[in-house]
Amino acid sequence: PRSTLFPYTTLFRSVNVQKRRRYRVRRMTRELPTEREMSPGRRLYMLLTVIAAAGVFAGAYTYSGGEINAGGGFVSAFVTSLCSVGIYVLLFFFGGLSAVGQPMGYILCFFKGLGTGYLAAYAACAMKSGDVCAALNILPFEAVSMVTVILGARENIRMSSYISGRSFGASGEASDEGSLRLYLAKFALILLTGIAAAAMRGLMAAVL
């Protein structure tokens, strides 16, 4: 009878029988961060560095053991060094304002490398003969001026490419006024770097 089974049914209902749940541990795999793509400005800088390095090797190869007058006082060394790097900066600056000034950046980088390679070969020969002062008087300025020239060439090519694109109807997000201000600011820093390198060259000439 149902009445006699009532206590048993209530007893089984009160007991909560739970089945064991199986949990699957999912394997978490983290993806390795992909290598960031090199920016166009960095790629251009690397290309110009390679071109300048080719010029350095060519200039060092053409060195035939001649003498170089690396002496002089502070004023003489400063003016000479400032003129040598300032000419490149001015050429890059005005070349960047032209739609056809891009080749100038590549050519002048190689030409600067020729001079640096020639002077570096002379400094290496001077160090072998025991004249360390001559090497210290040349190499620091040439290293900084080389970086200055490469940076100026990069901005020259980028601005010239921008003007060329705008001249032939390409649309850009940045305004002409904003691009020109950025261009002027960058070349102001490049010129200050060249002045600092020339001052360092003058100090080295005065001390050594």
Q: For the segment 170-200, what is each residue's pLDDT rounded down to a tens digit?
A: 555 556 667 888 999 999 999 999 999 999 9
Cα distances from 67 to residues 92, 153, 162, in angstroms, run: 30, 30, 44
Give the side-chain half-sphere CA count within 13 A for 13: 6
**What is the crossing angle of helices 74-96 and 176-207, to 10°?**
160
Between 42 and 65, name the one with better pLDDT. Answer: 42
pLDDT of residue 130: 78
| pLDDT for the residue 31 | 47
* Concatenated DSSP letters of 118-187: HHHHHHHHHHHTT-HHHHHHHHHHHHHHHHHHHHHHHHHHHHHHHHHHHHTT---SS-HHHHHHHHHHHH
- Specify the higher pLDDT residue, 55 or 20: 55
Q: What is the pLDDT of residue 136?
A: 85
Question: Is the confidence at residue 81, as pLDDT, over 60?
Answer: yes
* 150-173 mean pLDDT: 82
More confident residue, 75 or 8: 75
DSSP-derived letter for residue 63 is -
Instruction: Report the first-to-last Cα separation within the chain, whole angstroms.
Output: 120
Share of the chain above pLDDT 70, in %: 76
Alpha carbon distance 11, 39 (integer Å) = 75
